[in-house]
Amino acid sequence: MSSTAQPFSHRVALVTGAAGNIGLACAERLAAMGADLALLDLNGEKLEQARASLSQHDVRITTHTCDVSDSEQVGSVVDGVAAEMGQIDFLFNNAGYQGAFAPVQDYPADDFARVMNINVCGMFNVLQHVSRHMIARRFGRIVNTASMAGVQGPPNMAAYGASKFAVIGLTQVAAKDLAPYNIRVNAISPAFMGPGMMWDRQVTLQAEAGSQYFSRDPKEVARQMIDSVPMRRYGSIEEIPGVVAFLLGDDSSYMTGVNLPISGGI
């Protein structure tokens, strides 16, 4: 536990997808604000790298390899976190999978099922098990990672778009169900974030998928994407953690069921 009085001192944050770029960046911000961390991810090796990168912070950090799509496994891990850490105050429900890029008539059915299983069922599993511990203490703050793909359905992304629409709906329902227990549930919707692997992947796969909306040239696709953003740039991963911290903190105390775009004006 941090010895310095900080906004999130004496709070425990559970972060899923913690070994990925967004998860790790947000875990970094929460630790800097004094929160103890329970980091969950499917990739155990990257999870330990994440722990090492956060070790300069004077907070407790535990790591847990977990498949969020397995409800029984999630329940066991969450119960273990609550027992070991003493409580779970914050949840950044962030684990996800982008899936394939193809027009709906050609989209691979097995990939559609995988995306929905991770992004929707997995998010539900974590939210359900964590909320039960929060209900017992009548306190909790939850942020789900949605996407602008769940606000304006993108071409060639049937599974991802549908899954993120579902995340926003789940957020709104959970906000109502959990409000009587002093638990707030909100979502964030990042748009184009770069540079890095996810940006490059999306640009490349949209070009390969082919549509009237994007060029076949990845460099031209990148320009087209940026031109669709009023601020005329992609966002930085570092522009996400402050929004998450705001939604978990007291400055958003009268906000629940809200989806905040991080989109450059889209």
Given 160, 213, 234, 254, which residue is catalytic? 160
> H or E stretch including 51?
helix 44-53
Cα separation, 159 vs 91, whole angstroms: 24
Comparing C-alpha atoms, which of 124, 138, 52, 43 is closest to residue 88?
138
Q: How far is CA 246 from CA 26, 138, 193, 221, in A?
A: 11, 20, 19, 33
Strand partners, 144: 93, 187
Cα separation, 207 vs 197, whole angstroms: 15
Q: What angle do CA 44, 48, 49 make, to 5 degrees?
A: 115
- Written as six digits, the tokens of 263 are 């989109």
For residues 69, 73, 79, 83, the Cα torsion angle rounded to the nearest 10 degrees is -120
Has 97 been annotated as catalytic?
A: no
Q: What angle do CA 72, 175, 153 make, to 5 degrees?
A: 85
* Amino acid making up residue 207: A
Active-site residue set: 160
